[in-house]
Structure 1
């Protein structure tokens, strides 16, 4: 497996693959921790030529360009691979006013236009491509429990608004399940979209601390970028992944996912 961008989720995937006996190569901005430097074209192209599986977790750059495709798209497109994948975002769906969205919903109408364009570019690159559209990701050392414990959590209530989320280990399981499943686009989300305020309140209960005070969006003092997150409201359906990947989330709701982190 060659992984472009060893971030939070991709590193979790790499660790799991290595524990199962896979040989994994990853890219970082610099050649540290055994990774290949992203800009080392000779080393990266050699890795592409020698691998059987490729996945990218690299988001679009600030100027909207897709850095992996811009630099290595031709090499990936022409490589002899068994499997390819891209970690995308459910943000491509934009605002659905709280409705359920599946993989047939239109994309590109929300705030994540660059991500939507990257999603489409990766889809068209190879016939064996799997696109994983991910909502809010949480897991060890990066969860509502951690934010509550640090005192950085803002518990914001917006009437009628819900978000979907997914535990990082459920993403890893979905990616691995797709090795023997059809190519295509998959939403990887848990079964229970819920208000952000409910999730933070539950996280506080699990570690026996007072939940952050409930506040309105106007009182939260968020940056424009953070506030734009609340402009969208949708429920992400995961039925296709369950059917075609034979996958189901180990943590089907935030209660079970947060409970596992509190116990750990």
Structure 2
């Protein structure tokens, strides 16, 4: 019996279950709050509340019976919440075959616009990135002790239905921040789901997989392209130095790198449905 437990069933993890959940006999999912768990239950999930505290008896039993575990819960100031609250149940999971950990390309330091790949050491220059590096290290150590396959999916900027430049344009919140030379990778949520499915099928690949599109691009180009597709005005240029940004948003722009997806493409064999932002935005504009 194949049983999947999803820790942190948010946008990306939920989309994976929607597209590929039928390959499992049972799927359990967690949310940090009772309201979130209730919403998951209303969508047909076997839902549990989990916030990093010791797992409930019901969740612990599900984890102990799991064959596959997908972790989408971010680390906090105390470390990885899943290992902290469900580490014992995971250690007891006798049938556990595979662990997928959804991380971020934010673990890579600024490369001044240069290329990085899975061989690049993670040396994040932000506190959030350093927490991710520590969580990845903890999961690698756990998987080694457990003799379970682990794949760490380092995700680029996520977009998809309900979360894209098109929604921002229509709501009037889209801004064209201009920072010369700045580029970002992106990834459509459906391509994230495809990457996870490919990893489960080929657990020997990795353990690090950059899940990014083929074309790092300036953020203002994405806004202009989306505006043209949906027939809305292109927002005016705003120099980065003059922009009113939160500390988190400003730190996001402080890292400039192009992230290669060689392992995803060549080793996992994922054929991206949306290899650049153009295909992805065009599909969302329909």
Give TM-score scaled by structure 1 length: 0.95
In 2, Cα distance between the equivalents of 1:134 and 1:114?
A: 15
The answer for the alignment partner of 2:101 in structure 1 is 86
In 1, Cα distance between the equivalents of 2:63 and 2:24?
A: 19
In structure 2, the CA distance between the partners of 1:132 and 1:77, relative to structure 1 (3 Å rule), is farther
CA drift of 1:20 comes to: 4.8
CA drift of 1:64 comes to: 4.9
Residues 1:164 and 2:185 aligned together: yes
The answer for the alignment partner of 2:48 in structure 1 is 36
In 1, Cα distance between the equivalents of 2:285 and 2:31?
A: 31
The answer for the alignment partner of 1:123 in structure 2 is 140
Q: Deviations over 1:139-158 (max 9, x none)?
A: 00001111111111111111
Match of 1:239 among 262, 270, 286: 262
Q: State how 1:1-264 maps to structure 2 within 5 Å.
A: 1-20=4-23, 22-29=25-32, 30=34, 31-32=37-38, 33-34=40-41, 35-38=47-50, 39=53, 40-61=55-76, 63-80=77-94, 81-111=96-126, 112-126=129-143, 127-181=148-202, 182-183=204-205, 184-263=207-286
**In 1, are the aligned partners of 2:61 and 2:89 still within 8 Å (CA)?**
no
What is the number of equivalent residue pairs in this alignment? 262
CA drift of 1:106 comes to: 1.0
In 2, Cα distance between the equivalents of 1:161 and 1:178?
A: 31
In structure 2, the CA distance between the partners of 1:94 and 1:77, relative to structure 1 (3 Å rule), is farther
In 2, Cα distance between the equivalents of 1:179 and 1:261?
A: 27
**In 1, are the aligned partners of 2:154 and 2:210 still within 8 Å (CA)?**
yes
In 2, Cα distance between the equivalents of 1:96 and 1:77?
A: 38
The more displaced of 108-117 and 6-15 is 108-117
**In 1, are the aligned partners of 2:113 and 2:181 still within 8 Å (CA)?**
yes
Question: Secondary structure of the equivalent of 1:162?
Answer: coil
Q: Deviations over 1:93-141 (max 9, x none)?
A: 0211111111110113321111111122112221400100001000000
Question: Secondary structure of the equivalent of 2:131?
Answer: helix
Gaps of 5+ in 1: none
**What is the root-mean-square deviation of aligned Cα atoms in Å?**
1.5
**In 2, are the aligned partners of 1:187 and 1:241 still within 8 Å (CA)?**
yes
In 1, Cα distance between the equivalents of 2:111 and 2:92?
A: 37
In 2, Cα distance between the equivalents of 1:233 and 1:3?
A: 31
In structure 2, the CA distance between the partners of 1:83 and 1:191, relative to structure 1 (3 Å rule), is same
The more displaced of 166-175 and 45-54 is 45-54
